[in-house]
Chain A
């Protein structure tokens, strides 16, 4: 039973003595002990693991490793990977204990967060019994002030993207009960994802400075009626170019903004997020991602710890692979697509984006077309991306509708070029003409975030303008949002179908007005730094904003 663990451990470069100690601990198999000592344990760990700034991220399956000595089996992913198994297990053990405990009171929604003195544990149940936990160190001196919901959204995003490309973790585990496939996929995927948070060799998770942003939402381009009709016309033509009567889907982006989608809101969010991370012209040319504007200019770097960089990634990938060979897949190597690997997409001659990260079809040199799973229909789709200057058109074609693989895909692409290229060109031209630049949605005097929860849409002041806010304002808003999050989740439990109306105005320490308004599933957060003394003034300012930019949604009084 321990055979496989030993194999893993030895590959990870653990000494025999370490393994022995670990084995002893596992033999004890008493989770209660773990719970008692957990906090100390983590403290100790964090002090030693300075290289990672105290950030840990783990994914584990409560259904696995339920027997004594099999505890390691639970672990599907752990970052940093070079942490000792005992440490990993202790983190996971604590989390598991808390989940089990809180489930007694709240079976449907176990704990969301543990606030310890020096750490926050943010929980996210990605799939039934598959949990993701992020442990972040609190550090009063630094910028380390988070909002739990923002961190949870990071977990949610990486998981959603993972599912989109690889299917659910549970499905992977069921396909290969040894867990090797799931582990290797998760490892490369999450590591690639985390590179985007890398700033100057440190992971920068969303902090209070990002409180005028909402992860897991889509940013849309505002277009006029005629342009919108033209876009829709293009969308219909694209879909009609798809083979047979199958339901194709499409997304149209201009710059980093969504113009049109035919997908469900959740699928839209996922594909939009991926597009902005890896497909849009900006992410193609700069190799940077849009989320962390802070790291603009810094090159994709290799972290000395080796945990995130490509090289070590592949090394660990191999280790997982060999670990996996033991049960029954002797000597069988398989390719793991790494959709989030940086700089792997490029524009082909025909305007379609190509990547080799999905490997090639057996017996050919043509790169395989990536596929994604749609959440809503649970259908696998080919991902075809066409780019015309700043316009990105993502076409999703059901795999089931293409009989002869790559050949069929290239025929569809040809058809798309023939029927729609003129429309694409026209739409791009039209949108370019109306494009107001990166600061198009800046409203002077206001720093705002506008969310439509029904449609997962948000709009915010451009990041460059948000940076002009003082730290005090941002901290106040972060705090306010935290309060609103709590209030919202409480209201949700009371009556999930009844939207809460809420209005909060706070005078921050620096005399800025920090405002939140919620109504009918729409949220408006706002900082007014150069506002007048009176509350009436602030209220008027919101009213004006609402009437002007939100169709009066927020001006009911």
Chain B
């Protein structure tokens, strides 16, 4: 995707648009201005923004976008640059010098090799690095694809495979690892390949729909009208049909490409971003953006079209204040730019998935969703909760919003059925996130049911990636500490980190990034640099020479690495298995990734919803009970345990409104699961209602909370019943005696004879005292010798004589 530096038309001034919006970009942007820059490139494999000067390339990490770091710098030597990409291990820099020639430069050694088309008729359309087991580099030519392995040791590019095809243009994103090759008169026939770590998948050839404006005039599909996006781990292709003013959606399956509806567009120029699995369709001419959540079947937008907002702008007049901030160099390089502040200006290029590059000004913006605004604009509570629960980037915010919305709908006393649906959504999401492995970042569950292009061995990628990361890390630091840089090795971390997370998190295989996009194309110079020497002066070698050697060295490297960085490898692999999302390279997403999902656990549901609103709902316990019942229903369907205090709360609410009959039903049907907390609350609430108190007693008995139960029996004056219970219970205890004598001691301690004896004395019932005394004499060995026996026996005699007298 290329763009020409044109005079930017006056656009909507930054910050000048209203504050109402659902997506925003945060000021300040990443400023990527280098004196003498000839153009900006985006290397989506490594998520780097590259700025090329006459003999150097500067790289900025785009993850994270802020705070901006100083760019890393590589010397590339003089010459035209059509495209530039770092290899995925960041050791090699690939520079397309012309339509026939690509230069590969080893960053450590400075050695370079040049790959050239064999046939003059072929034109190199582009190249990209892949992480396929069989090959490292793919070069797209008009005659098809060439797949190579890069072997630095022998300094050759070895051809692995050739796919013969006529190619007009191509689209590739590293995120999807998919390349779409356009062919035909209208460029609407496509062949796709996916270069997954499991192998290469060839997609069936398919045609895209193109409406005809006139009978004899057939429109030609342009590369900028086709977008590959990855949403919820599914890969879609979006195609703009300018005649029909539709955005067609195609979804890729392993063995099929299926059109899945169309979205109406309102602008002839369309840009597409994906932020947190939400599809953003920028209606560039109309300067608004429409949001779609492709998870749902409905193709209706989430919300009304609203402009993109720039946040955090200084209050003063945008252009003047900012140009003073900008360094002089920037002004030099982009003299024409006084319109840095125009949203959807001419200089804007939309990078996959969520970046905007303002090449005129050398700014890089990241698009963010304003979840609050989206939530506030939608009154359909269950669907907005569903939407929020699916957000992965700002999970904490999404979760807090969900909790706030839930509290609000209850406090507003919205219809029970509606709140019930909201509860269903929350419970289902939690249950689903549990099933998907708890803390793990998860994407849609649909992946299992649909024939996606998933390659079955994610696990392998999971294990492999940290290993390779360790390798590269160890080597770059050990062998070449002096060269290119810490910065680059950091960027490698980011790369590997991304792959790591992606391969773990996405259930389908891919990640998201538009392939190295040429942002500023220079006038094409067909300079034939046949034997160009780079700084190291290595000549290009024939790829055939060193198959054996290659294998050998690769193995050698592996073994060395395993030896040197055993511990680290272990660490990282264990990390990646236990909590992949919180790996140490994940600092950029740190806050969010610690809260891996927006799912709300039953405990949080109680603590952050029910416990908080309880007081405010005191006036309407019946409604709150209805809501709790709905929540219990949802939880029961998903077999979730709820917080025991929720049951206690339910008991309180029912008792407070004198609904003891219902309370009885709730307990008997075990809607309120038995627990000590519930039992004690039943006893408490049962002060006014004897049957309820009995329910509490019964629950204590059934929970085998002997001590509490016996105490209560004694307290209520059921001495003999209590003793009978003790005796029965002791039978059980005696059986256990052989196992644990300690337990018996505890038991004997727990039910002290004096407890009964005191109680019977206070009841002033001679018969009872005698019976109790007799019981202990009979059932506790040696009781007759204790001081208790003596004391109470005397008391009994005294009472007896006083009665007799």
Shortest Cβ gap from A227 to chain B (Å): 8
Q: Is the CB of B665 within 8 A of A236?
A: no
Q: Is B630 an interface residue (CB 8 A)?
A: yes
**Interface members, chain B 685-709 (any A CB < 8 Å):** 690-691, 694, 697-698, 701-702
Q: Is the CB of A236 within 8 A of B725?
A: no
Q: Is B71 an interface residue (CB 8 A)?
A: no
Q: Is the CB of B690 within 8 A of A497?
A: yes
Shortest Cβ gap from B641 to chain A (Å): 12
Q: A236-B625, A240-B416, A265-B661 are in contact. Are A551 and B728 (CB under 8 A)?
A: no
Q: Is the CB of A454 within 8 A of B694?
A: yes
**Interface members, chain B 601-631 (any A CB < 8 Å):** 620, 622-623, 625-626, 629-630
Q: Is the CB of A233 within 8 A of B630?
A: yes
Q: Is the CB of B694 within 8 A of A232?
A: no
The CA of A483 and the CA of B634, in the complex, are separated in Å by 50
Q: Is A346 an interface residue (CB 8 A)?
A: no
Q: Is the CB of B659 within 8 A of A262?
A: yes
Residues of B within 8 A of A230 (CB): 633
Q: Is B666 an interface residue (CB 8 A)?
A: yes
**Majority DSSP secondary structure for residues of B touching A:** helix
Q: A236-B626, A240-B626 are in contact. Are A225 and B728 (CB under 8 A)?
A: no
Q: A236-B416, A556-B721 are in contact. Are A229 and B671 (CB under 8 A)?
A: yes
- Of all chain A residues, the one with the shortest Cβ separation from B664 is A455
Residues of A within 8 A of B694 (CB): 454, 520-521
Residues of A within 8 A of B670 (CB): 225, 228
A228, A262, A521, A556 — most chain B CB neighbours (10 Å): A228
Residues of A within 8 A of B701 (CB): 552
Shortest Cβ gap from A113 to chain B (Å): 28
Q: Is B717 an interface residue (CB 8 A)?
A: yes
Q: A223-B669, A521-B694 are in contact. Are A229 and B633 (CB under 8 A)?
A: yes
Which of A223, A419, A454 has a CB less than 8 Å from the CB of B691?
A454
Q: Is the CB of B702 within 8 A of A263?
A: no
Shortest Cβ gap from A28 to chain B (Å): 51
Q: Is A494 an interface residue (CB 8 A)?
A: no
Residues of B within 8 A of A519 (CB): 721
Cβ contacts A486-509/B at 8 Å (1 or 0 each) = 000000000001100100000000
Residues of A within 8 A of B721 (CB): 501, 519, 556
- Of all chain A residues, the one with the shortest Cβ separation from B629 is A232
Shortest Cβ gap from A426 to chain B (Å): 11
Q: A553-B698, A557-B724 are in contact. Are A239 and B622 (CB under 8 A)?
A: yes
Q: Is A371 an interface residue (CB 8 A)?
A: no
Q: A240-B415, A454-B691, A455-B691 are in contact. Are A233 and B633 (CB under 8 A)?
A: yes
Q: Is B336 an interface residue (CB 8 A)?
A: no
Q: A264-B661, A521-B694, A551-B698 are in contact. Are A233 and B728 (CB under 8 A)?
A: no
Residues of B within 8 A of A223 (CB): 669
**Interface members, chain A 216-258 (any B CB < 8 Å):** 223, 225-226, 228-230, 232-233, 236-237, 239-240, 245, 247
Interface size class of B (residues with CB under 8 A): 35 or more
Residues of A within 8 A of B673 (CB): 225
Residues of A within 8 A of B622 (CB): 239, 247
Q: Is A387 an interface residue (CB 8 A)?
A: no
Residues of B within 8 A of A236 (CB): 416, 625-626, 629-630
The CA of A62 and the CA of B417, in the complex, are separated in Å by 54
Q: Is A280 an interface residue (CB 8 A)?
A: no
The CA of A387 and the CA of B725, in the complex, are separated in Å by 46
The CA of A265 and the CA of B692, in the complex, are separated in Å by 13
Cβ contacts B384-420/A at 8 Å (1 or 0 each) = 0000000000000000000000000000000111001
Q: Is the CB of A226 within 8 A of B637?
A: yes
Q: Is B185 an interface residue (CB 8 A)?
A: no
Q: Is B636 an interface residue (CB 8 A)?
A: yes
Q: Is the CB of A268 within 8 A of B728?
A: no
The CA of A552 and the CA of B623, in the complex, are separated in Å by 35
Cβ contacts A544-557/B at 8 Å (1 or 0 each) = 00000001110011
Residues of A within 8 A of B661 (CB): 261-265, 268, 455
Q: Is the CB of A556 within 8 A of B728?
A: yes
Residues of B within 8 A of A458 (CB): none
Which of A225, A233, A262, A552 has a CB less than 8 Å from the CB of B662?
A262
Shortest Cβ gap from B393 to chain A (Å): 35
Shortest Cβ gap from B219 to chain A (Å): 50
Which of A225, A520, A553 has a CB less than 8 Å from the CB of B671?
A225
Shortest Cβ gap from B784 to chain A (Å): 24
Q: A225-B669, A225-B670, A236-B629 are in contact. Are A557 and B728 (CB under 8 A)?
A: yes
Q: Is B30 an interface residue (CB 8 A)?
A: no
Q: Is the CB of B669 within 8 A of A228?
A: yes
Q: Is A461 an interface residue (CB 8 A)?
A: no
The CA of A233 and the CA of B421, in the complex, are separated in Å by 12
Shortest Cβ gap from A396 to chain B (Å): 13
Q: Is A260 an interface residue (CB 8 A)?
A: yes
Residues of A within 8 A of B666 (CB): 232
A229, A519, A521, A552 — most chain B CB neighbours (10 Å): A229
A236, A264, A553 — most chain B CB neighbours (10 Å): A236
Residues of A within 8 A of B690 (CB): 454, 497
Q: A236-B416, A236-B626, A556-B721 are in contact. Are A229 and B632 (CB under 8 A)?
A: yes
Residues of B within 8 A of A239 (CB): 622, 626
- Of all chain A residues, the one with the shortest Cβ separation from B697 is A520
- Of all chain B residues, the one with the shortest Cβ separation from A266 is B661
Residues of B within 8 A of A497 (CB): 690
Q: A225-B671, A556-B725 are in contact. Are A237 and B637 (CB under 8 A)?
A: no
The CA of A245 and the CA of B657, in the complex, are separated in Å by 14
Cβ contacts B716-739/A at 8 Å (1 or 0 each) = 011011001101100000000000
The CA of A239 and the CA of B629, in the complex, are separated in Å by 13
Q: Is the CB of B420 within 8 A of A233?
A: yes
The CA of A233 and the CA of B724, in the complex, are separated in Å by 41
Residues of A within 8 A of B720 (CB): 501
Shortest Cβ gap from A438 to chain B (Å): 22
The CA of A556 and the CA of B673, in the complex, are separated in Å by 23
**Interface members, chain A 527-557 (any B CB < 8 Å):** 551-553, 556-557
The CA of A195 and the CA of B623, in the complex, are separated in Å by 43
The CA of A280 and the CA of B249, in the complex, are separated in Å by 56
Residues of A within 8 A of B659 (CB): 262
The CA of A498 and the CA of B720, in the complex, are separated in Å by 13
Shortest Cβ gap from B420 to chain A (Å): 7
Q: Is the CB of B671 within 8 A of A232?
A: yes
Shortest Cβ gap from B529 to chain A (Å): 74
**Interface members, chain A 351-377 (any B CB < 8 Å):** none
Residues of A within 8 A of B702 (CB): 551-552
The CA of A520 and the CA of B665, in the complex, are separated in Å by 18
The CA of A553 and the CA of B697, in the complex, are separated in Å by 11
Shortest Cβ gap from A417 to chain B (Å): 14
Which of A229, A454, A501 has a CB less than 8 Å from the CB of B636?
A229
Residues of A within 8 A of B626 (CB): 236-237, 239-240
Residues of B within 8 A of A240 (CB): 415-417, 623, 626
Shortest Cβ gap from A399 to chain B (Å): 20
The CA of A497 and the CA of B717, in the complex, are separated in Å by 11
Q: A229-B632, A232-B629, A236-B630 are in contact. Are A260 and B665 (CB under 8 A)?
A: yes
Shortest Cβ gap from A371 to chain B (Å): 21
Residues of B within 8 A of A498 (CB): 717-718
Residues of A within 8 A of B415 (CB): 240
Which of B417, B636, B718 has a CB less than 8 Å from the CB of A225?
B636
Residues of A within 8 A of B691 (CB): 454-455, 521
Other 17 A-B pairs with CB < 8 A, given A233-B420, A520-B698: A232-B633, A232-B666, A232-B671, A236-B416, A236-B625, A237-B626, A240-B416, A261-B661, A261-B662, A262-B662, A263-B661, A455-B661, A498-B718, A501-B721, A519-B721, A552-B702, A556-B728
Q: Nearest 4 A-B pairs (CB), nearest first? A: A228-B669, A236-B626, A454-B691, A240-B416
5 example contacts (A-B, Cβ-Cβ < 8 A) are as follows A228-B665, A233-B630, A240-B416, A455-B664, A501-B720
